[in-house]
């Protein structure tokens, strides 16, 4: 098994080292790193803006670049948290707790240096996991019929919507809304138009790019306009030689790094628990095993490297269900899967055998990309720090232009710019009503495959719904769904029992 994995990986490196693929990977991580640092611009918005520009390039290059944006942004986000105390990116919110005090003590450079190293360790573990686990998952998933696929998708959708931020019921509502959005347009089997409200432009359905840019572009801009705090750049003067940790500091952070990595990889195996949750759990675990838990929050290096390692290990791990089962764990993965679908590639367990260049090329490019990021981050730290000071009043109008031209360029269709506008307004209203719009994307991307498989499963079972619990594998998935909902209700009841006390602290991810 190890031998085949190594041959496949070797093949992957050959794909990833092709000059144009290497170039896309480099552009991806560079852009990702940049927007990771920019306040108020997340990887979701960036990937959606870049998505239409990838239509012209080959699928391998496109996915390498978009994935690069995603993990590149993770490196950038850490800089923001450590030097500015700004949790601009949710997974790094917890890094502020110990990272910023370190900066105040003048050890920000060390924190950054060790973060880069910890990120690399975490990511490497995640990639290794992907190499060995994905083929196993695929082997199992290839036996699945429509019934099993359906219940697996149900599990993925439920996990993605209930374990993420905010109220679980609202999350599920957003997923259902996403499934409904996927229905708009022509029905695949009969060709009849559904929910188009007589608009011929909608007969091809809502464009993924328009949906993503509306929800994560325009709605986010509306949320942040005139809200971005002025940045304190007092501590941002970091030089290259400040980044080298002392031997003691290095030794001190080795064990937390590996603990964080393990926590992250465990979290990534549960669909729906993305890097944000992984980093919080890692920080809590580290505090628990520490001999000096009272010192956390005062600038302890363990409190920085552990969550960062776990974030990166979970980010890479999230690719496992996405690439091997075709079921994305969060909105970013859904977007990447959507990018593959636009390129005409059907996601699912057959992806690795049908398009080995995409899968193994991606795996190899992770390593190349992560090494590139280490190389980029060390000398360019000064440049990234300068980017932090770009005011939002220049950022959002420029980004808005990119949104418009990106959506227009997707199909050369002005109607879709209007689509973005409407979806953006809706997205902002949903945000204000306490919904988190990310699960909409999950539902939207899985929608048509879910409907197709559900129809097929029912046709085979002659309309008997009990088939979902009488077939053993499907029954396991359904059981997990019930378990998931059950624990959610249990926690809800328990917390409402003591709701008369202070309200539970909401996630600082807002």
Instruction: Specify the stretch interacting with another protein by CB under 8 A; choose among 240-248, 356-364, 380-388, 416-424.
Output: 416-424
Q: Cα–Cα distance between 166 and 170 in angstroms, integer?
A: 8
Residue 82 tokens read as 């450590």
Helix (H) or strand (E) holding 103: helix 95-104
CA count, 13 A, side-chain hemisphere, 265: 17
Contact in structure between 227 and 69 (CB atoms under 8 Å)? no
State the number of binding residues for another protein (CB under 8 A): 66
Q: Cα–Cα distance between 72 and 70 in angstroms, integer?
A: 5
Contact in structure between 343 and 152 (CB atoms under 8 Å)? no
Q: Which residue's CB is nearer to another protein, number 56 or number 344?
A: 56
4 binding another protein? (CB under 8 A): no
Q: Which residue's CB is nearer to another protein, number 215 or number 430?
A: 430
Instruction: Specify the stretch interacting with another protein by CB under 8 A; choose among 170-178, 283-291, 306-314, 360-368.
Output: 170-178
20 binding another protein? (CB under 8 A): no
Q: Which residue's CB is nearer to another protein, number 193 or number 242?
A: 193
Give min distance, CB of 169 to another protein, in A: 5
Task: Candidates 142, 234, 251, 401: give the one binding another protein (CB under 8 A).
Answer: 401
Task: Candidates 167, 290, 343, 411: give the one binding another protein (CB under 8 A).
Answer: 167
56 binding another protein? (CB under 8 A): yes
Provide the 10 A C-beta neighbour count for residue 498: 9
Give min distance, CB of 464 to another protein, in A: 8
466 binding another protein? (CB under 8 A): no
Task: Candidates 227, 288, 497, 501: give the one binding another protein (CB under 8 A).
Answer: 227
Instruction: Specify the stretch interacting with another protein by CB under 8 A; choose among 140-148, 183-191, 290-298, 353-361.
Output: 183-191
493 binding another protein? (CB under 8 A): no
Residue 287 tokens read as 């505090």
53 binding another protein? (CB under 8 A): yes
CA count, 13 A, side-chain hemisphere, 237: 3
Q: Which residue's CB is nearer to another protein, number 2 or number 465?
A: 465
Three-state DSSP class for residue 286: helix
Q: Which residue's CB is nearer to another protein, number 37 or number 404?
A: 404
DSSP state of 471: S
Point out which residues pair with 193 in neighbouring strands.
Answer: 186
425 binding another protein? (CB under 8 A): yes
Task: Candidates 19, 198, 344, 434: give the one binding another protein (CB under 8 A).
Answer: 434
Point out which residues pair with 194 in neighbouring strands.
Answer: 185
Q: Which of residues 276-315 bind another protein (CB under 8 A)?
A: none
Instruction: Specify the stretch interacting with another protein by CB under 8 A; choose among 118-126, 167-175, 311-319, 331-339.
Output: 167-175
- DSSP per residue over 200-258, as a string? GGGGG---HHHHHHIIIIIHHHHHHTTTPPPP--TT----GGGGPPPHHHHHHHHHHHH
**What character string, x for contact with another protein (CB under 8 A) and - otherwise, covers 187-206?**
x-xx-x-xx-----------
Q: In terms of Cα–Cα distance, which of 383, 103, 107 is closest to 243?
A: 107
Distances (CA, A) of 500 to 390, 487, 495, 503, 506: 44, 21, 9, 8, 16
177 binding another protein? (CB under 8 A): yes
Residue 276 tokens read as 């944000």
Give min distance, CB of 505 to another protein, in A: 13
Task: Candidates 4, 143, 226, 466: give the one binding another protein (CB under 8 A).
Answer: 226
Q: Cα–Cα distance between 475 and 480 in angstroms, integer?
A: 9
Q: Cα–Cα distance between 329 and 215 in angstroms, integer?
A: 18
145 binding another protein? (CB under 8 A): no
Give min distance, CB of 218 to another protein, in A: 7
What does residue 86 show for φ and ψ, rounded to 5 degrees? -110, 110
Interacting residues toward another protein by CB under 8 A: 53, 56, 167, 169-170, 172-173, 176-177, 179-180, 183, 187, 189-190, 192, 194-195, 218, 221-222, 225-227, 391-394, 396-398, 400-401, 403-405, 408-409, 412, 414, 417-418, 420-421, 424-425, 428-430, 432-435, 451, 454-455, 458-459, 462-465, 496, 499-500, 503
């Amino acid at each position: 098994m190890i031998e085949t994995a190594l041959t496949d990986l070797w093949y992957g490196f050959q794909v990833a080292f092709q000059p144009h693929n290497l170039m896309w990977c480099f552009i991806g991580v560079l852009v990702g790193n940049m927007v990771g640092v920019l306040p108020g611009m997340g990887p979701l918005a960036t990937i959606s803006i870049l998505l239409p520009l990838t239509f012209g390039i080959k699928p391998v290059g496109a996915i390498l670049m978009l994935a690069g944006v995603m993990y590149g942004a993770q490196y950038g986000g850490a800089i923001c948290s450590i030097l500015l105390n700004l949790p601009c990116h949710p997974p790094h919110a917890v890094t502020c707790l110990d990272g910023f005090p370190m900066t105040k003590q003048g050890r920000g450079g060390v924190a950054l240096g060790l973060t880069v190293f910890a990120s690399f360790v975490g990511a490497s573990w995640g990639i290794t996991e992907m190499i060995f686990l994905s083929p196993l998952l695929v082997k199992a998933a290839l036996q699945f019929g429509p019934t099993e696929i359906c219940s697996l998708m149900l599990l993925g959708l439920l996990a993605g919507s209930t374990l993420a931020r905010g109220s679980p019921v609202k999350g599920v509502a957003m997923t259902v809304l996403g499934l409904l959005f996927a229905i708009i347009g022509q029905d695949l089997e009969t060709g009849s138009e559904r929910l188009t409200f007589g608009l011929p432009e909608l007969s091809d359905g809502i464009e993924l790019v328009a949906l993503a840019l509306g929800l994560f572009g325009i709605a986010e801009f509306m949320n942040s306009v005139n809200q971005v705090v002025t940045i304190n750049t007092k501590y941002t003067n970091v030089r290259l030689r400040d980044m080298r940790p002392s031997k003691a500091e290095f030794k001190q952070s080795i064990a937390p790094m590996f603990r964080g990595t393990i926590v992250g990889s465990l979290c990534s195996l549960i669909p729906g628990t993305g890097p944000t949750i992984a980093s919080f759990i890692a920080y809590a675990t580290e505090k628990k095993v520490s001999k000096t838990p009272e010192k956390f929050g005062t600038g302890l290096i363990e409190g920085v490297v552990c969550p960062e390692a776990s974030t990166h290990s979970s980010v890479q791990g999230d690719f496992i269900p996405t690439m091997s089962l075709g079921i994305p764990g969060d909105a970013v993965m859904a977007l990447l899967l959507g990018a593959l679908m636009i390129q005409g590639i059907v996601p699912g367990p057959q992806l690795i055998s049908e398009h080995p260049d995409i899968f193994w090329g991606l795996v190899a490019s992770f390593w190349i990309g992560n090494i590139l990021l280490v190389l980029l981050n060390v000398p360019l730290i000064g440049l990234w720090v300068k980017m932090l000071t770009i005011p939002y009043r220049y950022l959002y109008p420029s980004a808005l232009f990119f949104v418009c031209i990106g959506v227009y360029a997707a199909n050369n269709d002005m109607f879709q710019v209007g689509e973005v506008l409407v979806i953006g307004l809706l997205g902002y209203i949903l945000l204000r009503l306490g919904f988190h719009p990310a699960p909409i994307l999950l539902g939207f991307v899985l929608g048509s495959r879910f409907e197709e498989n559900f129809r097929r499963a029912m046709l085979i079972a002659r309309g008997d719904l009990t088939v979902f619990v009488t077939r053993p594998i499907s029954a396991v998935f359904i059981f997990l769904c019930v378990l998931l909902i059950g624990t959610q209700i249990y926690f809800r009841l328990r917390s409402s029992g003591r709701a008369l006390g202070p309200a539970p602290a909401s996630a600082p991810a807002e």
